[in-house]
Structure 1
Amino acid sequence: MQNNLFIGLMSGTSADGVDLALVDFDHLPHKLVASFYLPYPDSLKQMITSLYVSGSEEIDRSGQLDKALAMFFANAISQFLTEQSLTKDDITAIGNHGQTIRHRPNGNYAFTLQIGCSQTLACLTGIRVIGKFRDKDIALGGQGAPLVPAYHQAIFSQHKRDVCVINIGGIANITYLPTDENNKVVGFDTGPGNALLDDWYRLNHPADNQGIDLNGDWAKTGTVNHTLLTELLSDDYFSKSFPKSTGREYFHMQWLQRHIENKAMTAEDVQATLLALTAHSIANTVQQLSKNSVIILCGGGANNSHLVQLISQLCDGHDIDFTDKYGVDNESLEALVFAWLAFAYVNKHPGNLPEVTGASKSCVLGLSFTP
């Protein structure tokens, strides 16, 4: 192996675009060299979000999108390499998470589906691709998610206080790193993060090209409907014991519409209540796990000042930090994790934590696809 440069590639549930991270593993534990983001055109984003719920011709549409995303990813990697004055021969491997369109980790036939064909990506880029990171964990009885706690444990563990790492993407998840060695590291999805907030905002602001409620400014103009908030928080998912995971196929607009129909509410009040749902579901989880922790926020939701303020208020007794304090760029974190998982695969290191996912054992995650 001539070098230890890996590219991590992540497309989250918000389906805004693809994040890339160039990571050097010759500098232990690793060094983020550069990051890159390429937004999806509206047509591709529509193809993705249309597959979050059941519909007609799903097999054809998912098959086509599988290849379309691989082509888009390959284009992003080409631009990234040019920007960094690198060639394909400088990269050991690409860690490709892909785009989740279904996550069904429970039942007799548990499965998870991420598309963005790794074989096509390898052939188009000429670089080895490690993908399909979640499948083996599910085959071993786990949830296949979340996968980031193993990385969080390596980077964010402290010895004096508990640590709760909260990643607020489309779906929010938590990693709990206890100081007491008798307690286990746990990690799971807390519920919706930005997904419903973004969907409701876009529905009511179709002409806004930015497409997000920046800093929660619109939510601040509304009033939380506590009856609706209580109803939303009564969903069975929130009281379900962990390990557990969820996705956009569960917390989607139809789920929201069922709860708000026949309720006299302004659009702003709905947004305020959705923001409160994200904050309360996160805070309830933190309080369940620890009474005095350092909360490290990351993901797109960490940029929403109104959301962060509410989480801070609800988590009295805990301190709020951000990943930048620990030398980890928030915008690159998830892509960096999949570079790390690709590195772990190449070096035969386990990538899951069974106590987090519920798998029967730790294992090397992923499959290799060569050009």
Structure 2
Amino acid sequence: MSDAASLYLGLISGTSADGIDAALVSFEHDRPRLLAARTHPWPDALRARILAVAQGETALDLDAFGQLDVALGHGFADAALALLRESGTPAAAVRAIGSHGQTVRHRPFGEFPFTLQLGDPTTIAERCGIDVVADFRRADLAAGGQGAPLLPAVHAMLLAHPGHARVVLNLGGIANITVLGADGSVIGFDTGPANGLLDAWHLRHRGEAFDRDGAFAASGKIDDALLEALLADPYFALAPPKSTGREYFHLDWLAAHPRVGALAPADVQATLLEFTVRSVAEAIERHAPAAGDVLACGGGVHNRALMRRLGERLAPRTVSSTAAFGIDPDFLEASAFAWLARQRLLGLPGNLPAVTGARGPRLLGAIHPAPR
């Protein structure tokens, strides 16, 4: 099968761990086109384990670590096989699966930077009968980069507008921006929390995985003292390239601020929503002052209170979903990992050194062949 006729499948479970996004993608002139997609939920008990490990609440011994890695691999395989069934796509039509896995640690700073994604790719290859490309971030880290974000190359391919500066805003558990310059330049970095703290606080106090439409946040009042304390975290003063994750911005980090215990839960939620808005907006104002519009993707686009406040704070810029440009905001990230798998098989780099800070372009990902 020629590559031009091949399909690719992308898999990712983001920092919110709210499910596995699976995207079936074809390519036209090297640009990914989404054919079919689904979100495959994690079982509640497994999601709880993921979050406990990612937030440092649970330490794993080697046996537990290995078992979790394989259990997550089966979850990713289940998601891929379900998408193939629903779309009527035979495994033989898919050239490769690009599996990002589930990040449980991302430590890009320090003497020995590392990043760790679980979801055993050999299990996925065995069960699906499709070659799997995985472990996309470590080659960039080894080259001195942050290993993240990896989506800006795809953002630029799909959403850049020559002569026009704009921002692509990914609102996952962590928020990141891609700044597409009018001159064709591309930079990007993690701005801080998006949905991660909001979801975790809502789960603790309302028993549901996320704050639908931001209703809980809208019922509270912003506490200015807490907001300023959160924004004073040293991460926000760092210059890009930079990246972060749930292992840094988690509920214990939040609880370390004394004001939290004195406030009603709804007021904390309102403050956390404004915290996301302020940290995103200040990053855009500092690093993309010429941008005329902000195109949002990720789960946060469905939080109406969050999108409304972003629009108010970033005015006169327009804030809209990538759906307005024909790109599904829920599956852009999964599609990007299908693209990264294709890049690896074609022997082409997947990182942008101007974004990650790596010493140069690198092939990203390791290939795990399916049984023949």
Letter in 2 for 1:18: I
Q: CA deviation at 1:61?
A: 2.5
- The 1:243/1:28 distance shift into structure 2, 3 A limit, reads closer
Distance in 1 of aligned mates of 2:183 and 2:82: 46
- In the alignment, does 2:73 pair up with 1:75? no
Query: Is the Cα–Cα contact under 8 Å of residues 18 and 41 in structure 2 kept in the other structure?
Result: yes
Cα offsets for 1:172-196 (capped at 9, x unmatched): 0000011135xx4211000001000
Percentage identity across paired residues of the two chains: 43
Q: Which residue of 1 aligns with 2:205?
A: 204
Letter in 2 for 1:188: F
Q: Which residue of 2 aligns with 1:14?
A: 16
Distance in 1 of aligned mates of 2:34 and 2:67: 33
Q: CA deviation at 1:124?
A: 1.6
Letter in 1 for 2:201: W
> Which moved further from structure 2: 57-66 or 136-145?
57-66
Cα offsets for 1:45-71 (capped at 9, x unmatched): 011111113333343322111100111
Select 2:227's aligned residue among 216, 224, 229: 229
Distance in 2 of aligned mates of 1:341 and 1:333: 12
Q: CA deviation at 1:161?
A: 2.3
Q: CA deviation at 1:363?
A: 1.5
Q: CA deviation at 1:358?
A: 0.4
Distance in 1 of aligned mates of 2:182 and 2:278: 24
In the TM superposition, 1:312-331 aligns within 5 A as 312-331=311-330
Gaps of 5+ in 1: none
Distance in 2 of aligned mates of 1:275 and 1:307: 7
What is the aligned residue count?
A: 366
Letter in 2 for 1:103: H
SS in 2 for 1:50: helix
Q: Which residue of 1 aligns with 2:333?
A: 334
Select 1:48's aligned residue among 50, 70, 83: 50
Q: Which residue of 2 aligns with 1:119?
A: 122
Q: CA deviation at 1:263?
A: 4.6
Letter in 1 for 2:53: L
Q: Which residue of 1 aligns with 2:265?
A: 267
In the TM superposition, 1:302-313 aligns within 5 A as 302-313=301-312
Distance in 2 of aligned mates of 1:350 and 1:39: 31
Distance in 1 of aligned mates of 2:29 and 2:40: 27
Distance in 2 of aligned mates of 1:5 and 1:248: 32
Q: CA deviation at 1:30?
A: 2.8
Distance in 2 of aligned mates of 1:345 and 1:177: 24
Distance in 2 of aligned mates of 1:145 and 1:27: 25
Distance in 2 of aligned mates of 1:212 and 1:21: 23
SS in 1 for 2:149: coil
Query: Is the Cα–Cα contact under 8 Å of residues 260 and 268 in structure 2 kept in the other structure?
Result: no
Select 1:62's aligned residue among 65, 80, 99: 65
SS in 2 for 1:143: coil
Query: Is the Cα–Cα contact under 8 Å of residues 51 and 58 in structure 1 kept in the other structure?
Result: no
Letter in 2 for 1:156: L
Distance in 2 of aligned mates of 1:139 and 1:339: 22
In the TM superposition, 1:1-371 aligns within 5 A as 1-2=1-2, 3-26=5-28, 28-54=30-56, 55-180=58-183, 184-206=185-207, 208=208, 211-260=209-258, 263-293=261-291, 294-371=293-370
Distance in 2 of aligned mates of 1:81 and 1:130: 18
Query: Is the Cα–Cα contact under 8 Å of residues 226 and 260 in structure 2 kept in the other structure?
Result: no
Cα offsets for 1:119-158 (capped at 9, x unmatched): 1211121110000100100010000000000111111111
Distance in 1 of aligned mates of 2:20 and 2:12: 6
Gaps of 5+ in 2: none
SS in 2 for 1:173: strand
Q: CA deviation at 1:39?
A: 0.6
Letter in 1 for 2:15: T
Distance in 2 of aligned mates of 1:180 and 1:26: 25
SS in 1 for 2:63: helix
TM-score calculated relative to the size of structure 2: 0.95
Cα offsets for 1:275-318 (capped at 9, x unmatched): 00000000001100233421001111111111111111111221
Query: Is the Cα–Cα contact under 8 Å of residues 94 and 342 in structure 1 kept in the other structure?
Result: yes
Distance in 1 of aligned mates of 2:107 and 2:241: 13
